Each structure stands twice: as C-alpha cells, then as structure tokens.
Amino acid sequence: MDVKTVCLGMLSDGPATGYDLKKQFESSFAHFFAAGFGSIYPALSSLAEQELVDCERVPQDGKPDRKVYEITKAGREFLGRALENSSPAHKVRSEFLATVCFSHLMSREQCDSIVDHRLQDLEQILNTLRQAESNCLDDMQPGMRFVVGVGRAVSEAMMKYVEENRHLLVTESK
C-alpha cells in the first residue's frame, strides 16, 4: 500500500485538497505513515489521470486554485480491491535504536541527548494523538479510532520502557 492508495482511502471519506490530506497525514497518520507534498501531489495527479478521482478547480484570489478531489465510483471499486490485496506489513526503521545499540561507543552526553530527543518526539506524538481523540473522535471511523489507540498504546509502552531502563545504557569510559 503506497501513498496513492492511502490518499484514495482518505478521499473515500469525503472530498479534499492535497493540502487537506497533508494535514491528515500529519495528525492521525503521523505515527505510522508519513507523506510529504512531494508524494501527495503527484499521487493525486496520477489518481485523477486514472479517473479514480474527479478534480474540481476552485479559483481563489492571490493563491493557486484549490483543487478539490472527489473519489469516483471506479475509485471506490479500485480501493476495495486494493484493500483486499493489501499485505499487512508493519515496518519500523529506527536510527534511534540502531544508534543506541552502540551506546558503549558514545559519550554519556551524546547518549543522554538522543534518548531525551526520542522521549520528546514520543511526547509530541502522544499530544497529537490525544488532540485527535478529543477534537474529532465522533467523526472518526472505527478503524481510525482503533489505529489511534494502537499509536497511544505503543508510544506509551516505548516511553515507559525507555524512561525506566535508560540507566542501563553504559557509555564510553573516556
């Protein structure tokens, strides 16, 4: 499942612009599926070309036209098939953990710094998720609610473990 399919999925919930989708990626999707404009805009163009979405241009003054995308019937069918064939991969790529593996080659300051950083990032993710829960729990689909819950559970677990065990990290004796 690539950015394109996720965009199509988001559009199945109602029309939106690329800019809108970006915000959705940044809020409830941030903890498990990142996407920048450089992925989103080409994805939407490609979707439109395949007629899986319609695009309505809304002129504005001083800004580029808003391009409001809406899923088509063909789009819904395509999405259905994509969901059927989706392989449920879940990949983590953690430079944080990769670095910590070699904490015995680092200075205490360096090690503390990256652990603190990670803790801050986790705090931020949790804030974002809590915000999403309090702002729009009602207009979230059950799947989305579940996904936000997973994010909370996993982030809290990581935070707790890191806080309780960081003292075990031995650093270079120099």
**Residue 38 site contact among a copy of itself, DNA, none (CB < 5 to 8 Å, cut-off depends on kind):** DNA
Number of residues in the chain: 174
Q: Residue 58: what are its φ and ψ, rounded to 5°?
A: -115, 110
> DSSP letters of 28-87?
TTTTT----HHHHHHHHHHHHHTTSEEEEEE--SSSPPEEEEEE-HHHHHHHHHHHHT--
Residues of span 39-58 touching DNA by CB under 7 A: 39, 41-45
According to the binding rule CB under 7 A, does residue 35 interact with DNA? yes
Angstrom distance (rounded) from CA 22 to CA 45: 15
Pick the binder of a copy of itself from 68, 110, 112, 126 (CB under 8 A).
110
Footprint on this chain of a copy of itself (rule: CB under 8 A): 1, 5-6, 9, 12, 29, 31-34, 79-80, 83-84, 86-106, 110, 114, 117-118, 121, 141-147, 149-150, 153-154, 156-158, 160-162, 165-166, 168-170
Footprint on this chain of DNA (rule: CB under 7 A): 2-4, 17-20, 23, 34-39, 41-45, 60-67
